[in-house]
Amino acid sequence: MINLANSTRTKQASVAIIGRGKTRKYFQYRAGLHVWAFNDNAMTIPPEQLSGVFEVHPDWDTRYNGIIGCEGYVEWLQQGHAFPIYMLVRDNRIPNSIRYPYPIQAGELFTSTTPYAIALAIHLGYRTIELYGIEADPGVEYAGSRDAIYYWLGRAIGAGLEIKVHEECELLKAPLYPFGYDKTPEEQIEIAQKNIASWTRYKESAERKINR
C-alpha cells in the first residue's frame, strides 16, 4: 500500500472502502477495521465484516433487474442487518436505511458512490481511508468518476487523513504530460481507442436514461 499522506487525526478507526476493481484482491480484513461497500458488491463481503453499505440510487428497486450478479440484491437490502445502509433519502422498505448524514454543499463533486463514501469518512472523523478495488480506470465507464474521487481525496488529505492505496491502483496511473510523450505510436493509438470506447459507453448510458 502507498500512503498518500500522514495522519494527524486520532478520532476514529480506519475505514476500508471496497470496490469491484482489480486491487480488491489485496483487501484483508483485520479486527478493528471498519469496512464499507457499495450496492450489490456488499453481498460479496461477509456480513460480520461490514460496517456500512452505500445505496444512493433512487431507483434501487428496479435498476438491478436482470443484471447478472445482482440476483437477490433488492431482497437483501430489505432484510435486517447489523450495519447502516446509507441512502440519500431514507426508505422505509429498507429497515437499516438511514439518510446520508454528510451535509452536501453547493459546488461539491459527487459523480459516483465513491465520493459519497470519502466525504462521509471525513465527516465522521476517521483517521485513515484505505481503498481497495476503487480504480476509476480510464478504459471503463467509471473513468468519469476520477475527478470527483481526486477532489475528495484532496479534501481528506487536507483534513489530515492518511490515504492508503495499493500501488497497482489505476487511480495512481496517468499519462505523462504532454500526453503520450512517454508512449510509442502504437501505444498512443491503444490509449485513444480506450478513451473512445469509454466515452461511447457513457454516451450510450446517457441515451438509455433519456429514453426510459
Dihedral sign for Cα atoms in the order 74, 119, 23, 184 = positive
The pTM score is 0.78
pLDDT tens string 71-81: 999 999 999 99
Lowest mean pLDDT among 25-29, 77-81, 91-95, 135-139: 135-139
Say if residue 47 is preceded by a cis peptide, omega within 30 of 0: no
Contact yes or no for 147/109 (Cβ under 8 A): yes
With residue 125 as reference, give the H or E element that holds it. none
Asked if the model's pLDDT at residue 180 lies above 80, the reply is no
Q: Does residue 31 have a pLDDT over 90?
A: yes
